[in-house]
């Protein structure tokens, strides 16, 4: 059964107050850690992540979208909080609103049974555990990617257990995670299971080298070899996995937009400061139209992204699934943020492609964001199908 967690009944003022605390924490505490050397090729180490989470805990901003009494902020309130967290690539990790944990918390809050919440959700909310969502499969084997109906990973009952076999790919953060949500195909259809990690039968084959570098554990190829999962660790009902995935998907698309809007906002701040201070040909760079106009375009598109996110969040807050609206927002925002980050790099010239600022990282991360939770083209294809379907239905009514 899908249940709706109790949400904040306050106005946006409650979320605004929380976002201001989060922004102050990110700017004053987190940003100085951006030069911290505790990183590998795939992202910050867990030691750095735990230190930042402890700082957030001490400042009262850990998991800020879930209130102490268990209420969730509304989607519109969450938007301004996650945007504040995103002002640093380390911010979402520090305040415990990073992917995939934030989306997994949302899903478990909606679907998990009380004992499952105690065992799997509470450690995530407290920031003492990381999680992974195992759905995508290797393309070379014809497995599920943008089309989850192609899933090859199988689940078969065996007494009071289920046995899962298959391979997964691009599994974010599984190296070092202690909680996993596995999607497999039973006779009834797609089914989700909760597991503790590490676990016998679950093996990380390799961690991929990717363009982004903000997520601990990176993105891995994982082998599932006769993984025995107790039946009471099934999430919801057998065959209902796609329905539960939709519960997670629309909000997760939007929270990606929220976090990366914060990152692009920060990139704009850095590029603007550079353009104001740097001189060329007898005047500040910003006074050259080729530079100033780029920053003006960024300002316009940042506001458009903010409004698109707020609109879609309002749809979700109304209780509607928001599937179409989140597709529209994901395409619009991810494409705009990439243009914004690209302009910031261009404005800063050589400095923009160095690690001297986070601008080059934001550029890389936002480029990857155009693929997260479905490539732009998949969403456009889905929207085009809806346009065709609605148009044919309207013409048939005449």
Closest CA to 125 of 109, 141, 110, 114: 109
Q: What is the pLDDT of residue 149?
A: 85
pLDDT in tens, 367-394: 999 999 899 999 999 999 999 999 999 9
What is the Cα–Cα distance from 140 to 340, expressed in whole angstroms?
34
Task: Yes or no: say if 348 and 357 are a contact pair by the CB < 8 Å rule.
Answer: yes
Cβ neighbours of residue 162 closer than 8 Å, sequence gap 6 or more: 155, 156, 184, 186, 191, 193, 228, 229, 231, 234
Q: How far is CA 342 from CA 197, 249, 301, 346, in A?
A: 38, 27, 13, 6
pLDDT attached to residue 144: 85
Residue 352 carries which DSSP code?
A: G
Q: For the packed helices 323-348 and 289-317, what is the interaxial angle rounded to 10 degrees?
A: 160
pLDDT < 70 stretches in the chain: 1-11, 397-398
**Residue-level pLDDT at 11:** 67
- Looking at residue 63, its pLDDT comes to 98
Q: pLDDT tens for residues 93-118?
A: 999 999 999 999 999 999 999 999 99
In this prediction the pTM is: 0.93
| Cis status, amide bond into 174, omega within 30 of 0 | no
Please tell me the predicted confidence (pLDDT) of residue 160: 97
Is the C-alpha dihedral spanning 283, 289, 292, 294 positive or negative? negative
Sequence-separated (6 or more) residues with CB below 8 Å from residue 24: none
Residue with tokens 């967290």: 85
pLDDT given at position 8: 53
**CA gap 229, 236 in Å, rounded:** 14
Asked whether 295 and 272 are in contact (CB, 8 A), the reply is yes
CA distance 234 to 113: 10
**Token digits for 125?**
């909310």
**Looking at the chain, which runs of residues are DSSP E strands?**
131-134, 154-158, 161-172, 179-186, 189-196, 202-208, 219-230, 234-235, 279-280, 283-284
The predicted structure's pLDDT at residue 398: 55
Q: What pLDDT was estimated at residue 397?
A: 62
Ordered structural domains, the chain, with CATH: 12-98 (no CATH), 132-238 (2.40.110.10), 242-391 (1.20.140.10)
Tokens of 377: 């083209």
Structure confidence at residue 70 (pLDDT): 86
């Amino acid at each position: 059964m899908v249940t709706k967690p109790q949400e904040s009944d306050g106005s946006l003022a409650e979320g605004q107050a929380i976002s201001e605390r989060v922004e102050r924490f990110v700017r004053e505490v987190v940003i100085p850690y951006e030069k911290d050397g505790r990183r590998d090729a795939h992202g910050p180490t867990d030691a750095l992540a735990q230190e930042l989470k402890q700082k957030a805990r001490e400042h009262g901003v850990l998991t800020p979208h879930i209130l102490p009494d268990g209420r969730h902020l509304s989607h519109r309130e969450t938007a301004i909080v996650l945007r504040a967290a995103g002002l640093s690539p380390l911010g979402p990790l520090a305040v415990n609103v990073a992917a995939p944990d934030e989306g997994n918390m949302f899903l478990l809050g909606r679907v998990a049974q009380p004992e499952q919440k105690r065992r799997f959700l509470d450690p995530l909310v407290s920031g003492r555990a990381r999680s992974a969502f195992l759905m995508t499969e290797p393309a070379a084997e014809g497995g599920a990617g943008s089309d989850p109906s192609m899933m090859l990973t199988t689940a078969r009952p065996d007494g009071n257990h289920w046995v899962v076999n298959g391979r997964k790919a691009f599994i974010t953060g599984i190296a070092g995670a202690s909680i996993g949500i596995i999607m497999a195909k039973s006779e009834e259809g797609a089914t989700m299971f909760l597991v503790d990690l590490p676990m016998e039968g679950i093996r990380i084959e390799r961690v991929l080298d990717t363009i982004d570098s903000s997520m601990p554990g990176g993105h891995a190829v994982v082998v599932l070899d006769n993984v025995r999962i107790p039946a009471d660790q099934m999430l919801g009902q057998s065959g209902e996995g796609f329905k539960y995935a939709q519960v997670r998907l629309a909000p997760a698309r939007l929270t990606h937009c929220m976090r990366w809007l914060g990152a692009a906002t920060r990139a704009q701040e850095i590029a603007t400061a550079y353009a104001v201070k740097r001189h060329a040909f007898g005047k500040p760079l910003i006074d050259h139209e080729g530079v100033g106009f780029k920053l003006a375009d960024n300002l316009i598109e940042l506001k458009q992204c903010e409004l698109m996110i707020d609109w879609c969040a309002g749809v979700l807050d109304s209780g509607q699934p928001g599937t179409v609206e989140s597709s529209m927002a994901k395409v619009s925002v991810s494409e705009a943020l990439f243009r914004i980050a690209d302009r910031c790099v261009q404005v800063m010239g050589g400095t923009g492609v160095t690690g001297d600022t986070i601008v080059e990282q934001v550029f890389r991360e936002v480029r990857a964001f155009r693929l997260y939770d479905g490539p732009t083209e998949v969403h456009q294809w889905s929207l085009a199908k809806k346009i065709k379907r609605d148009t044919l239905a309207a013409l048939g009514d005449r």
